[in-house]
């Protein structure tokens, strides 16, 4: 297949997925994700026949797989999620803090994604909340929206956490709003070693409790001496915690957060070509100031790297802490607005109930997806349901 703007991860999986599955041992969620991506918006999932109420022209619209790793299914869910978050934003600048795990931990993350990523969430959130509460730094209670990404630009494993944090919070006694510095939220020189200490202490406990699966490259870490040697190297290493400059109020926050919440390891628009059993895609080379480059990988290696980033079943990759913790979020936000002298935002469309895809599409693009492309003035209406078809057997 030559280079094409229509090339999708789904095309690659349909052509090469079955052969890959026959030659590689995959876990259940990886198999499910591959199948879902292959079947997305095809007759295999069924759909609806739409008919124009003016000219009578017909169009088949097939169902989406709604798998969270599918490149085609994220925009709709992202817009629904963002609309529900609109009422939770405070009228203050926000900071973006990134916590990154060292590459040496990749062998453990591959075999233990759930416990390693849980530990990443816990260590990063506890670090932010603890340092912010210290009167020597901010002396306030923070709210945190944390989003897990596991990939780098070339699809290698690169676990890191994006934390979106308001620039301040209620004082520890809850009587006033404490505003962070305009230049930084909290000192990175303090955050990084505290984060490192919390994560490594948690990792040591997981090892002692026998909760780490140590197979493949990680099998050598069964030896207590080897594991302690790894911990020693990681304690001596500087860990990467980075805070980006603050950005504006609620509307800017929504646009900014949209870049991170529902992303997948590689979006379809980055694919360049599929030819001679090799996939070419674009990536940003951050060592060259984000310059766009192209990388070509054998199909099997491309699929292998993509599957690194399939998360465990029901693993929650967007989490809330502190003021934003789910249980008390509404009450805490009401208190924050009172301290800031700010009124609660008016409910937006779709904030109380799930919007259908036609409404979301029209709200975001300003275009009516039901407008008939044939006659230009009629509207497509659901005529009947299309049953799901049986998957074709592999060639």
The average pLDDT across 307-334 equals: 93
**Which segment of 6-10, 43-47, 359-363 scores lowest on mean pLDDT?**
359-363
Which residue range is the domain that position 182 belongs to? 90-265+315-340
pLDDT score of 205: 97
Residue 299, classed as helix, strand or coil, is helix
- CA 29 to chain CA mean position, Å: 17
Mean pLDDT over 231-248 rounds to: 89
What is the signed CA dihedral for 331, 81, 123, 128, rounded to 10 degrees? -50
Asked, for residue 194, whether it belongs to a domain, the answer is: yes
Ranges of beta strands (E only) in 39-114 are 47-52, 58-62, 94-100
Residue 89 region by backbone torsions, left for phi larger than 0, else alpha for psi between -120 and 50, else beta: beta
Parallel, antiparallel, or unpaired: how do β-strands 47-52 and 58-62 relate? antiparallel
Highest-scoring range by mean pLDDT, 4-18, 190-204, 320-334: 190-204
Q: For the chain, what is the mean pLDDT?
A: 91
> How much is the average pLDDT of 338-348?
81
Q: How large a percentage of the chain has pLDDT more than 70?
A: 94
**Mean of the pLDDT values across residues 119-139?**
97
- For the entire predicted model, the pTM comes to 0.91
320-347 in b/e form (b: 16+ CB < 10 A) is bbbbbeeeeeeebbeebbebbeeeeeee
Residue 275, domain member (yes or no) = no
User: Residue 166 — pLDDT band, cuts 50, 70, 90?
Assistant: very high
User: What one-character DSSP code corresponds to residue 181?
Assistant: P
Checking if the pLDDT of 347 tops 80, the result is no
Q: Is the pLDDT of residue 298 over 90?
A: yes
| Residue 5 banded pLDDT, cuts 50, 70, 90 | low
**Residue 46 within a domain:** no
Distance CA 18, CA 144 (A): 41
What pLDDT score does 3 carry?
41
Pick the more confident residue, 283 or 362: 283
Task: Please check whether residue 70 lies inside any domain of the structure.
Answer: no
pLDDT average, residue stretch 183-208: 95
- 49 or 357: which carries more pLDDT confidence? 49
> Across residues 99-117, what is the average pLDDT?
97
Q: What pLDDT does residue 83 have?
A: 78
User: Has residue 221 been placed in a domain?
Assistant: yes
Is the pLDDT score of 207 beyond 70? yes
- Domain total of the chain: 1
pLDDT over threshold 80, residue 260 = yes
Q: What angle do CA 75, 78, 81 make, to 5 degrees?
A: 155
- High-pLDDT (> 90) share of the chain, %: 74
- Residue 198 domain-assigned? yes
Work out the end-to-end distance of the chain between its first and last CA atoms, rounded to an integer number of angstroms: 18
Predicted confidence (pLDDT) at residue 1 exceeds the cutoff of 50: no
According to DSSP, the β-strands at 47-52 and 380-386 are: antiparallel
DSSP 254-290: HHHHTTTTT--SS-GGGEEEEETTEEEEEEEEGGGTT
Alpha-carbon span 149 to 38, nearest angstrom? 23
């Amino acid at each position: 297949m030559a280079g094409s703007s229509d090339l999708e991860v789904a095309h690659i999986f349909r052509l090469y997925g079955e052969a890959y599955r026959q030659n590689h041992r995959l876990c259940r969620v990886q198999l499910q994700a591959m199948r879902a991506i292959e079947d997305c918006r095809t007759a295999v999932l069924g759909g609806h026949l739409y008919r124009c109420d003016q000219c009578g022209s017909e169009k088949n619209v097939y169902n989406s797989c709604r798998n969270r790793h599918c490149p085609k299914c994220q925009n709709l869910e992202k817009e629904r999620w963002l609309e529900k978050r609109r009422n939770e934003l405070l009228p203050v600048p926000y900071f973006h803090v990134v916590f990154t795990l060292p590459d040496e931990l990749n062998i453990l993350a591959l075999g233990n994604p759930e416990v390693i990523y849980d530990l990443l969430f816990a260590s990063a959130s506890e670090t932010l909340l603890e340092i912010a509460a210290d009167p020597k730094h901010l002396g306030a209670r923070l709210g945190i929206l944390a989003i897990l990404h596991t990939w780098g630009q070339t699809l290698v494993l690169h676990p890191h956490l994006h934390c979106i944090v308001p620039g301040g919070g209620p004082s520890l006694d809850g009587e006033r709003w404490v505003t962070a510095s305009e230049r930084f939220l909290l000192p990175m020189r303090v955050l990084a070693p505290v984060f490192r200490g919390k994560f490594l202490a948690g990792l040591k406990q997981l090892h002692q409790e026998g909760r780490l699966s140590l197979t493949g490259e990680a099998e050598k870490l069964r030896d207590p001496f080897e594991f302690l040697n790894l911990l020693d190297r990681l304690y001596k290493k500087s860990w990467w915690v980075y805070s980006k400059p603050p950005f504006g109020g609620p509307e800017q926050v929504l646009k900014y957060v949209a870049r991170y919440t529902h992303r997948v390891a590689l979006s379809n628009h980055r694919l360049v070509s599929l030819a001679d059993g090799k996939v070419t895609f674009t990536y940003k080379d951050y060592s060259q100031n984000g310059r766009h480059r192209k990388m070509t990988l054998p199909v099997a290696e491309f699929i292998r790297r993509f599957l690194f980033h399939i998360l465990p079943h029901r693993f929650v990759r967007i989490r809330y802490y502190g003021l934003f913790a789910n249980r008390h979020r509404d009450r805490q936000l009401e208190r924050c607005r009172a301290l800031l002298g700010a009124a609660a935002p008016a409910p937006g469309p779709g904030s109380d109930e799930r919007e259908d895809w036609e409404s979301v599409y029209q709200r975001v693009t300003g275009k009516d997806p039901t407008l008939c492309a044939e006659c230009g003035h009629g509207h497509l209406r659901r005529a009947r349901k299309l049953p799901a078809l049986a998957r074709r057997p592999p060639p």
